[in-house]
Amino acid sequence: MMEKMKKQVLQSDENMVIYIKVKVRASKTEIIGMREDGIFKMNVRALPESGKANEEILKLLKKHFSDYCIKIQTGKTSSMKTLLFTKKVIE
């Protein structure tokens, strides 16, 4: 399904949606770059069990995007994920 979607970063004033391809059991947790189709590539050290890899993904991204709440929108059990970034409201 996701392969048929247009791959890019979708952004509005308060929200941003990105697509990532995750490789688990890597030697280092890191963002590798972006593919030609707009999907980000990411390596994760954790195993894909009990949500450990997803937790590691969110932990790394929250370091770099602290102004956003980040949620895995689709792909919780897949290597292809859609992430929703929502701008935090400061009152």
The enclosing domain of 74 has a CATH number of 3.30.1200.10
Tokens encoding 44: 């994760």
Domain, as residue range, for 80: 2-87
How far is C-alpha 50 from the chain's CA centre?
A: 17
Residues 24-73: tens digit of each pLDDT: 999 999 999 999 888 999 999 999 899 999 999 999 999 998 989 999 99
Domain total in the chain: 1
Residues in a beta bridge with 19: 82
CA distance 39 to 56: 18
Computed over its alpha carbons, how large is the radius of gyration of the chain? Answer: 13
pTM of the model: 0.81
Contact in structure between 56 and 27 (CB atoms under 8 Å): no
**Cα→Cα distances 67→19, 35, 44, 64, Å:** 19, 25, 22, 9
Say if residue 23's pLDDT is above 80: yes
Check residue 4 and give its pLDDT.
Answer: 43
